Amino acid sequence: MKAVQLVEAGQDPRVVEIPKPTPGPGEILLKVTAAGWCHSDVFVVENIAAFPHFTLPMTLGHEGVGIVEEVGPGVSDVEIGGAYAVYGPWGCGHCPVCVTGREQYCPNAAARGIMPPGLGSPGCLAEYVIVDNARHLVPIGDLDPVKAVPLTDAGLTPYHAIKRSWPKLTPGATAVVIGVGGLGHLAIQILKMVSPARVVALDVSEEKLALARSLGADAALISSMDNLDAIKEAAGGGAEVVIDFVGAQPTIDLASKLLKPASDLTIVGVGSGVAHVSLLTQPYGASVLAPYWGTREDLYEVVELAKEGRLDVHTEVFSLDDAISGYEKLHAGTVDGRAVVVP
């Protein structure tokens, strides 16, 4: 089968031919119908030395949906031919954290070598992928695979990040979204859907600001410290919630200037910026969190929103042969929404 692999450190990913896998006990073989490129893939490719537990060559792709083609011994909970989304942040499944669905925070995964598809385990940017357990599949019904696949990370991660701040997203409150890419363009919609808060979007590209406005942002401005006064004014003085989908030093610094007392700063982006937190560095009671991905429950809820037709998922589609063009566009920051690969 064809697969997109990071073959060697320091090189760009490549489309290669590898053997089609066979599901072992408890495993499921999915015929991939769509896989997403995430900016985290760019980060992994460019910083592979930071992941010494990954073995190369590694098939990329932690966003996947597909059709169950075959199951290994002992699997009875999935329907052959059924369409499913892959819940990627696999945990051990049995500890007190995993049984609440928060598998992305499983304390045993690292020690047991349990790694997400495309982030250690063979990923979804391929014709087929092995899913380790039926609980990591969420049925998507007749959702379009191209529109469904970004839900597994670009939808799930902002949903999880926003959920922690629900009590602060009251009438009169402001939420600032920094970075209107794959994750940010869905964050704007989720915020507008789950809360009455005003949404201010920031990006460095005018095209992304236009996208933000078209998706319901109340204001969209260029992200820059030089623009702080205008951003503060658009936010009504400051923000109750700031979600940074870039995580670079300039965005974390800007985000910190927008916080009100008892506000939430949520750093989702994996840029190399650092937030300095102490009693006097930000308004009293502000909470700074860097969450990872989302829970199994969150993915069911995001899929439900999509089934109800309430998410306008923007995608640019690439064939598997042309998958590297999607990676290059993502790298250049010119993708409208999510780059999706259809094998």
- List residues near ligand NAD by CB under 6 A: 38-40, 43, 153, 157, 178-184, 202-205, 208, 223, 245-248, 250-251, 268-271, 292-293, 330, 333, 335
Least Cβ distance, residue 207 to ligand NAD (angstroms): 9
Residues 6+ apart with CB under 8 A from 301: 159
Residue 38 or 303: which CB sits closer to Zn ion? 38
Binding mask of the shown chain, residues 151 to 180, with x at each position contacting Zn ion by CB under 5 A: --x---------------------------
3 state SS of 276: coil
Which of Zn ion, ligand NAD, none has residue 248 at its interface (CB below 5 to 8 Å by kind)? ligand NAD
d(CA 341, CA 157): 20
Binding partner at 205 among ligand NAD, Zn ion, none, C-beta below 5 to 8 Å by kind? ligand NAD
Closest distance to Zn ion from the beta carbon of 318 (Å): 17
Which of residues 155 and 343 has its CB atom nearest to ligand NAD in the complex? 155
The least CB distance from residue 316 to Zn ion, in Å, is: 16
Comparison of 83 and 270: residue with beta carbon closer to ligand NAD = 270
Q: Is the dihedral of CA 323, 324, 327, 329 positive or negative?
A: negative
Least distance CB 293 / Zn ion (angstroms): 7
C-beta separation of 251 from 227 below 8 A: no
Question: 214 CB contacts (<8 Å, ≥6 apart)?
Answer: none
- Closest approach, Cβ 294 to ligand NAD, in A, equals 8
Q: DSSP string of 110-172?
A: HHHT---BTTTB--SSBSEEEES-GGGEEE-TT--HHHHGGGGTTTHHHHHHHHTTGGG--TT
For ligand NAD, the closer of residues 145 and 247 by Cβ is: 247
The long-range contacts involving 108-116, CB below 8 angstroms and separated by at least 24 positions, are 110/53, 113/53, 114/90, 115/53, 115/54, 115/90, 116/62, 116/88, 116/89, 116/90
DSSP state of 20: P
Helices (H) then strands (E): counts for the chain:
10, 16
108 or 224, CB closer to ligand NAD? 224
In order of 75, 254, 342, the CA distances from 88 in angstroms are 19, 31, 18
Least gap, CB of 323 to ligand NAD (angstroms): 15
The distance of closest approach from Cβ of residue 85 to Zn ion in the complex, given in angstroms and rounded to an integer, is: 14
Whose Cβ is closer to Zn ion: residue 198's or residue 314's? Answer: 314
Considering only the stretches 34-42, 101-109, 202-210, 213-221, report the one whose residues sit in contact with Zn ion under the rule CB under 5 A.
34-42
C-alpha–C-alpha distance, residues 258 and 250, integer Å: 13
Q: In this complex, which beta carbon is closest to ligand NAD, that of residue 23 or of residue 88?
A: 88
- Rounded to 10 degrees, the C-alpha dihedral 230/234/237/239 comes to -120
Nearest approach in angstroms of CB 335 to ligand NAD is 6
Partner whose binding site includes residue 223, from Zn ion, ligand NAD, none (CB under 5 to 8 Å by kind): ligand NAD
CA–CA distance, 126 with 323 (Å, rounded to integer): 10
Question: Which option in Zn ion, ligand NAD, none does residue 318 bind, with CB closer than 5 to 8 A by kind?
Answer: none
Q: Does 40 bind Zn ion (CB under 5 A)?
A: yes
Residue 306 site contact among Zn ion, ligand NAD, none (CB < 5 to 8 Å, cut-off depends on kind):
none
DSSP state of 80: T
d(CA 38, CA 57): 19
Please identify, using beta-carbon distances, which residue of 40 and 59 lies nearer to Zn ion.
40
Q: What residues line the site for Zn ion (CB under 5 A)?
A: 38, 40, 153
